[in-house]
Amino acid sequence: MASVVAGLAKRLRIPYLVSRHSSTAVMGIFALVNGVVSIGIMAAAAWATASPFVFPSLGPTAFLFFYTPTMASAAPRNTVFGHLIGATAGYVSLVIFGLAEAEPALSSSMTLPRVGAAALSLGLTSGLMVWFRVPHPPAGATTLIVSLGILRTIPQLGVLMLAVVLLTVQGLVINRAAGIDYPTWAPKQT
């Protein structure tokens, strides 16, 4: 079976296809197929475990992995640390504004403390990603998911980070199998 998979990977190399066909068509098909596969796997894990393995900011993360895989914002280090910063900033903001046990903003109302938590979480996430040089724009959505109370417990945040790591591993495997010079951890220096 491994030789079959290796043979398919060798025949379906994305750089080769892009050199022979419209890069828009090839990358569109690549993004479509891998978006379905990667989020499908995460959704199946969510269904099987009844845990939040799928959340809105995974969509833009998958898009970066399969449309702009060589950009710094799609690198595994930036992805993992960006989402970790976002989740942590969101949780810290919940605690600072006394909202750790509050109902999510979507099922209750937007209060002044919730406005403060959302604003602080996004500001912290943006600043920390810049200072640590780990830009990953979807982390801005992650911090709002947490600061708005959609995912707010430590176990939920653990599953969130596990989902980010699993999606990142999928991105690494799929991009490398396609022949894309996807970084193993840190973005390539230009």
- Mean pLDDT, range 4-24, rounded to an integer: 63
pLDDT tops 60 at residue 95: yes
Q: What is the pLDDT of residue 124?
A: 98
Return the domain boundaries, the chain.
2-177
Q: Which residue has the higher pLDDT, 21 or 109?
A: 109
Range of lowest pLDDT (20-34, 54-68, 112-126, 156-170): 20-34
Q: Scanning the structure block, which residue is given the tokens 């068509």?
A: 25
The pTM score is 0.90
Measured CA to CA, the distance from residue 31 to residue 50 in angstroms comes to 27
pLDDT tops 90 at residue 60: yes
Q: Which two tokens stand for residue 92?
A: 């810290």
Kindly report the average pLDDT of the chain as a whole number.
91
Measured CA to CA, the distance from residue 104 to residue 168 in angstroms comes to 28
Q: Which residue has the higher pLDDT, 77 or 8?
A: 77
Q: Scanning the structure block, which residue is given the tokens 């060798």?
A: 10
- Mean pLDDT, range 113-136, rounded to an integer: 98
Measured CA to CA, the distance from residue 126 to residue 102 in angstroms comes to 25
pLDDT tops 50 at residue 2: no
Q: What is the pLDDT of residue 5?
A: 43
Q: What is the pLDDT of residue 116?
A: 98
- Mean pLDDT, range 81-89, rounded to an integer: 98
179: confidence class by pLDDT, cuts 50, 70, 90: confident
pLDDT tops 80 at residue 150: yes
Measured CA to CA, the distance from residue 42 to residue 166 in angstroms comes to 8
Q: What's the per-residue H, E or C state across 79-141?
A: HHHHHHHHHHHHHHHHHHCCCCCCCCCCCCCCCHHHHHHHHHHHHHHHHHHHHCCCCCCHHHH
Measured CA to CA, the distance from residue 165 to residue 121 in angstroms comes to 21
Residue pair 164/62 in contact by the 8 Å Cβ criterion: no
Q: Scanning the structure block, which residue is given the tokens 């799929």?
A: 174
Q: How far apart are the first and last CA of the chain?
A: 38
Q: Which of 14, 41, 12 is nearest to 169 (CA)?
A: 41
